[in-house]
Each structure stands twice: as structure tokens, then as C-alpha cells.
Copies of this chain bind each other. A is one copy, B any other.
Amino acid sequence: MNIMNGEFLASTGLSELDREVIELFIRMADVLNLPRSVGEIYGLLFIASDPLCLDDCRIRLKISKGSTSQGLKILRSFGAIRTVYMAGDRKDYYLAETSLRKIASGFTNEQIRPHVDSGKERIERIRELLDEQDDDARATLEEKIDLLENWQKRASKTLPLMLKLIGG
């Protein structure tokens, strides 16, 4: 093993530019309701000039193995990073996906769509409850449920259109 690899390089800190870019992705992760560490890892991979393995991330970001593994898993889950196989190396190396279209699409499909879908199911259950209501309560409630369903449909349709808008 090369003495220049591994923990030794941990002290070889990130440049100010690196840190600023990572900070930017930490904020993005926050907006998207993802753990901070996910933002850190993506930011590091984004700014890195070469693919990095789990330990590279862990050491440079000074985070635990568990967080790193979990973070990479989440990023893989919606296609924000890609795995690169290096000849003669058992480790997995990762590269930041740079197509905004792909990332946005993966994110909406994996992290948003399930919520929208479960909302749809819930509205169906609510509509069943509506049938058990008194006739006088019914009319106004029905309007509200219709409105809910209308929102749900518009949200469903807007997701894919949004992805078109973001371009690719």
C-alpha cells in the first residue's frame, strides 16, 4: 500500500473552494430534506477531479463509515452518483452525475412520487368515508374532497412536466 494513500491524506484538507462547493450542496440537501452528510458527499464527488471510494469520502469529510455508506446508498438510490469500476481494485469508486435532468428525475421518482401516490390512496379512503355522512354534511364536504382530488391530479401531472421544463 502506498504510504501517500489512506488516513495520512486526511490532514490534506479541502481547499476553500472545495469547502464552499460542499457547503452549497449541504444547503441544497437541506432544502430537499436530505441528511447533511448526503449533501457533503455529493458536493465532494462533484468537485473532485477523479472518482472517489467510500474511504476517500469518509476521510476527507471526516465522517463515519456508517454515514458514508448510508449517504452513498441514498445518492445511488436516485441516480445522483454513478459507480465506476477501476481495474484491479475491489473498491467501488463513485462519480457525481452531472445531468440535472437525470438527478431531478431520479429524485422525484424515488423521493416525491411515493408520497403523491400514497396521497392518492388516502383520498380514495376519504371518499369512502364521505358515503357514511349525513346528507346535509355531505354536500359541502364533497366539494372539499373534490378539490383535494383536483389538487392531487394537478400535482401528479405537474411532476413530469416540471422535469421537461428543467431541460435535459
Whether A140 is near chain B, meaning CB under 8 Å from some CB there, is: yes
In angstroms, Cα B144 to Cα A144, docked, is: 48
Q: Are B118 and A27 in contact (CB under 8 A)?
A: yes
Given contacts A20-B125, A20-B129, A126-B24, contact A158 B148 (CB under 8 A): no
A98 touches B17 (CB 8 A): no
Does any Cβ of B come within 8 Å of A42's Cβ? no
Majority DSSP secondary structure for residues of A touching B:
helix
Interface size range of chain A in the complex: 35 or more
0/1 per residue, A122-150, Cβ < 8 Å to B? Answer: 11011001100100000011001001101
- A3-11, A54-62, A69-77, A159-167 - interface stretch: A159-167
Residue of B nearest to A20 (CB): B126
A90 contacts the other chain (Cβ, under 8 Å)?
A: no
Among A28, A130, A133, residue most surrounded by chain B Cβ atoms (within 10 Å): A28
Establish whether residues B161 and A27, one from each chain, have CB atoms under 8 Å apart when the complex forms: no
Q: Is A115's CB within 8 Å of the partner chain B?
A: yes
In the bound complex, residues from chain B placing their C-beta under 8 Å from that of A150 are: 100
- Contact of B24 with A122 in the complex, beta carbons under 8 Å: yes
Which 6 A/B pairs are nearest by Cβ-Cβ distance? A17-B129, A20-B126, A33-B33, A31-B115, A158-B165, A24-B122
- Residues in A lying within 8 Å of B, measured CB to CB: 16-17, 20-21, 23-24, 27-28, 30-31, 33, 46-47, 49, 98, 100, 112, 115, 118-119, 122-123, 125-126, 129-130, 133, 140-141, 144, 147-148, 150-151, 154-155, 158, 161-162, 165-167
